[in-house]
Structure 1
Amino acid sequence: MKRGITRRAALTLAGAALAGCSRDGEARWSAHWIGAAHERGHRLRDATKSGSLGAPAVTRRAGAIVVGAGIAGLAAARALMRAGLDDVHVLELEDAPGGNSRGHVLGGMGCPLGAHYLPLPGPHANEVAQLLDELGLRRVEHGRVVYDERHLCHSPQERLHIEGQWVEGLLPPVEALPAAERERTRDQYRGFAREVQRWVDADAFRVPTARAAWSDELAALDALSFADWLARERFDAPALRWYLDYCCRDDYGAGSARVSAWAGLHYFASRHGFHAPGEGEAERDGLLTWPEGNGWLAARLAAPLGERLHGGCVALRVREGREGVELDAWNERAQRVERFVAPQLVMALPLFAAARVLDSPPAALAQAAAAMRHAPWLVANLHCERAPIDRGGAPPSWDNVIYRSHALGYVDAMHQSLRPHPGPTVLTAYWALGDEAGARQRLLADGAEAWAARVLADLSAPHPDLPRHVRRIELMRYGHAMSIPVPGLRGHAALRALAAPQRRVHFAHADLAGYSVFEEAFFHGTRAAADVTKAVRTRRAA
């Protein structure tokens, strides 16, 4: 049970939440699922099992087809259009583009349905840096990179609720721990910082990972779990282990026992390092964020597509022939099968879905899909008539995390607002469920009210008044939200084979990196588009 709230109190709050009531019994809020029903995605699975696809009602021709309008698919379409292919059609299962980076509006306020920030790109994320330049978010002045401050996360950025109060930052402060744990924790904070710095100095981890060299030492890290590596290196302080587990769940959807040691170290060594308290901590890392999260970026990537973006279309089958590629898709709005024909196709779907769609999947695709595990996620947006009451400590921040919670905390959609007075807001709570057996089934089987009750019970630990201020809770569930970088996945030969140039069907998804972040998806989408462009130009020149 999480600190700061007793089991009885949690059950009481959950019961009140489940009834949609305040303590005085007055009905206060309602809970609703949003997004496409999961049955739409299951249409592919059921159709391929039964073989009942049906004949296409219409056939359309395109210069290139992109299947999937997540960040990888949108990046591919953007790069293809920039290369001069002006007849690019993109098909997307959901009604709106963006994949895990979709935005939403609740109570007139923007809020995220998935990824809610973008770290400032490092020296190897060239494609993302170029995009930010084009969008006016980034510029170079006198040899120095400058970002538009309106889109940088406003201060204070993050805080942690521990021992009944809020403290700045997410690393548990030594002073807040039991006296018996303090010295060991301080020493292990310093020891882990030295280990991470060793890898930073070696430049062994990069984002995107395709631009990092591979070595026997990294392969050894990839072969065991992060938890096993931490145990081997004698990093066992409870506060450190909780923090590292939280970081893994936040970025990978599952904790240190499921992700590889390579992934656990990559989280820190590829970006910001790890800084022990009082050991010359660097300036807090900058990040870009918007009320609707990375949906802000997805909307701008999708806008140039216009009517060539086909939402509500479920890819059913892709057949590669000698002269081109045929795609059959179910159009949810028209309730019919439609066929698209093009010389080249970008498959920007999760690899397990791509394996089902392709008529004759390559051996590498089947191998990669079998090796991958995907974490289910829940994203809950809570429309509040006012922000919850704080009870001292660090002031309200953009990112707010509860120590020892199984959830990931919440972000405040109105934190970026410059309004001079308090008012309604939307809190977005995140739950990564990759560690829980049967979580995907519960996510589909349990009702919106039951999940809303769990969310409210968790957030009521630091904010007991929160249920009284909530008016509506909208929940988004992702059955296969992101690839978990399990041991052995990063160095898998099948991922390298799929990222290589193909004949007509090119693969582009963050799955090819073994984990899911914006930079990896954008890189692989851009890379696949370059392969398509080269193939088209070669054919034209022949």
Structure 2
Amino acid sequence: MITRRALLAGAAALAGCESRPEVEGAFAGAAVERGHLLRTRRDWPAPHATHRTQVVIAGAGIAGLAAARALRQRRIEDFVLLDLEDAPGGNSRAGQVGGIACPLGAHYLPVPGDDAPEVQDLLEELGLRRRVAGRWEIDERHLCHAPQERLYFQGEWQEGLLPLNGVGATTRAQYVRFAREVAAARRGGAFRIPLRDRRPLRALDTQTFAQWLAARELNDPQLRWYLDYCCRDDYGAGIATVSAWAGLHYFAARHGFHPPDADEGGERDALLTWPEGNGFLARALAAPLQERFRGGRLVLRIAQQRHGVEVDTWDVRTQRVERWQAQQCIVALPAFVAARVIENPPAAVTALARMTRHAPWVVANLHLREPLWKTPGAAPAWDNVVYGSETSLGYVDATHQDLNPAPGPTVLTWYCAPGEPARGDVLQKPWTDWRDRVVKELSVPHRDLERHLTRVEVTRYGHAMPVPVPGALSKMPSPPPSGRLRFAHSDWAGYSIFEEAFTLGDKAGRAS
């Protein structure tokens, strides 16, 4: 006799044997091979053509785009912005998967405070910040919708990223103690974004954040995992690598640290975000440039001449060298690139290149044909993190900001900071390795992930951001103050965030 239970068991077995179609995908975003031409090729031909302009901006990341904006505000329109990639924005560029916009890198901007007037002015220009009844307000349509964050911990989702479910009194006591340390650091007033005076923080630059925590017996595993996650999220390296000032800066310069049951109502930043992440800002900055932006140009040489500057570039489309002659050049390139391409580089550039360590970064965009099933615990959020990982940073949901009440396809953007020793793996592994890794991790909280997954696109950054290691802040040189070359890149700040890059670019554009 065939029972109902037997029929159901047979159907389940057949379902388990169904072969799922291979998930398609590819590498996308940064053109790694183009950048490596600088070190692998020497036989560059003579320039095919020579162009003249008033200012050349080398590098179209946020710093380069900010410099271009500053030039235009000064009514300087005769300039060109050159970049290795086909689209401007650097680590803030965006893409699309399955017709859905998604970030290829940076995905949010905390609402800037009064220490960042340059960024505040940009938000006002874009209509994101306006004065209402005498007070400044942010357009709520661009603020991150609630729920903002959740953590998969102890087998279910919880609100917020600080581990809370089932933690004991000892853990909570350490949360409170660390909150007091952060509050004391904030009262000193030295932690600001952008960081304009490094001197008060040099005492914290002599040790790692892990050593600073150990000296205060802040050793709880949950607290340490959370702090390590935060440092990897901002700097691409954990508490055993970054300096104590950097670890504290993450909290003291922004929202502080609020333990559970704090009067402040929990740890929440006011964040600006968009489906395409900071690609929204990069696109807005690039929109007025039109033909002034020249993508697909590898900068080969920057040379100061008696009456100006020469910049040679390799046009990857025509496979020819172009020469640009200008009065000045704004060098918005990473320090190690600038030191390679500038003839007789200033000592400060060489020193910065020698001391700066860069973290690799991997971003995978996963297209889902429909939303994932609801899992136990907190509701789906914009930022979703799985507890315990030593390298991955979770994912953000591209359609979280969508006001359409009908659920549909979406893109999950997964981030990974694998650490400096893994740079070779980042650049050499096939895209399928990253696909398999992200599917394995996210299938723990989302058992139906593979059922809904249609495509994975992987973006790699071999040198994504400078790592603020001990000693870097104290030894960091300032950009050369004068001459035909001006410098603007987040490497000169020692860590990579929008506010620092934008402010440096704005300053260079106004000084040229």
TM-score band, normalised by the shorter chain?
over 0.9
Residues 22 and 467, structure 1, Cα contact 8 Å, conserved in 2: no
Residues 319 and 358, structure 1, Cα contact 8 Å, conserved in 2: yes
Structure 2 residue aligned with 1:335, among 319, 322, 331?
319
Partners of 1:515 and 1:26 lie apart in 2 by: 43
Structure 2 residue aligned with 1:42, among 15, 19, 36?
36
Q: Which amino acid aligns with 1:99?
A: G
Label 1:390 to 1:81 Cα distance change in 2 as closer, same or farther (>3 A).
same
How far the C-alpha of 1:493 sits from its partner, in A, is: 4.2
Partners of 2:385 and 2:209 lie apart in 1 by: 22
Q: Which residue of 1 aligns with 2:182?
A: 196
1:11-160 aligned within 5 A? 24-47=18-41, 50=42, 52-160=43-151
Residues 35 and 298, structure 2, Cα contact 8 Å, conserved in 1: yes
What is the SS of the residue equivalent to 2:437? helix
Q: Which amino acid aligns with 2:33?
A: E
State how many pairs are aligned: 496
Partners of 1:209 and 1:396 lie apart in 2 by: 35
Q: Which residue of 2 aligns with 1:365?
A: 349
1:224-303 aligned within 5 A? 224-282=207-265, 284-303=268-287
Residues 198 and 473, structure 2, Cα contact 8 Å, conserved in 1: no
Residues 117 and 287, structure 1, Cα contact 8 Å, conserved in 2: yes
Label 1:247 to 1:150 Cα distance change in 2 as closer, same or farther (>3 A).
same
Partners of 2:248 and 2:461 lie apart in 1 by: 26
Indicate the larger mover: 71-80 or 182-191.
182-191
How far the C-alpha of 1:142 sits from its partner, in A, is: 2.4
Q: Which amino acid aligns with 1:254?
A: A
How far the C-alpha of 1:417 sits from its partner, in A, is: 0.4
What is the SS of the residue equivalent to 1:209? coil
Partners of 2:486 and 2:403 lie apart in 1 by: 44
Partners of 1:426 and 1:36 lie apart in 2 by: 19
Label 1:34 to 1:322 Cα distance change in 2 as closer, same or farther (>3 A).
same
What is the SS of the residue equivalent to 2:172? helix
What is the SS of the residue equivalent to 2:40? helix
Q: Which residue of 2 aligns with 1:415?
A: 400
How far the C-alpha of 1:31 sits from its partner, in A, is: 2.2
Partners of 2:386 and 2:436 lie apart in 1 by: 17
Residues 103 and 111, structure 1, Cα contact 8 Å, conserved in 2: yes
TM-score, structure 2 length as denominator? 0.95
Partners of 1:279 and 1:391 lie apart in 2 by: 28
What is the SS of the residue equivalent to 2:36? helix
How far the C-alpha of 1:260 sits from its partner, in A, is: 0.4
TM-score, structure 1 length as denominator? 0.90
Q: Which residue of 2 aligns with 1:14?
A: none
Structure 1 residue aligned with 2:166, among 157, 161, 176?
176
1:455-534 aligned within 5 A? 455-494=438-477, 496=478, 498=479, 500-532=480-512
How far the C-alpha of 1:404 sits from its partner, in A, is: 0.7
Residues 28 and 468, structure 1, Cα contact 8 Å, conserved in 2: no
Q: Which amino acid aligns with 1:24?
A: E
Q: Which residue of 1 aligns with 2:6?
A: none
| Alignment pair present for 1:207 and 2:198 | no
Partners of 2:134 and 2:509 lie apart in 1 by: 30
How far the C-alpha of 1:71 sits from its partner, in A, is: 0.1
Partners of 1:262 and 1:183 lie apart in 2 by: 28
Unaligned runs of 5+ in 1: 1-20, 533-542
Residues 476 and 492, structure 2, Cα contact 8 Å, conserved in 1: no
Partners of 1:107 and 1:172 lie apart in 2 by: 34
Indicate the larger mover: 281-290 or 79-88.
281-290
How far the C-alpha of 1:367 sits from its partner, in A, is: 1.2
Q: Which residue of 1 aligns with 2:339?
A: 355
Partners of 1:228 and 1:371 lie apart in 2 by: 21
Residues 36 and 95, structure 1, Cα contact 8 Å, conserved in 2: no
Residues 65 and 345, structure 1, Cα contact 8 Å, conserved in 2: yes
Partners of 1:39 and 1:456 lie apart in 2 by: 26
Q: Which amino acid aligns with 1:86?
A: E
Partners of 1:144 and 1:120 lie apart in 2 by: 15
Partners of 1:26 and 1:454 lie apart in 2 by: 17
Q: Which residue of 2 aligns with 1:539?
A: none
What is the SS of the residue equivalent to 2:141? coil
Partners of 1:321 and 1:247 lie apart in 2 by: 45
Q: Which amino acid aligns with 1:388?
A: L
Partners of 2:104 and 2:76 lie apart in 1 by: 31
Q: Which amino acid aligns with 1:270?
A: A
Q: Which residue of 2 aligns with 1:316?
A: 300
Q: Which amino acid aligns with 1:318?
A: I
Partners of 1:279 and 1:387 lie apart in 2 by: 34
How far the C-alpha of 1:28 sits from its partner, in A, is: 4.2
Q: Which amino acid aligns with 2:493?
A: A
How far the C-alpha of 1:370 sits from its partner, in A, is: 1.0
| Alignment pair present for 1:444 and 2:434 | no
Partners of 2:234 and 2:290 lie apart in 1 by: 32
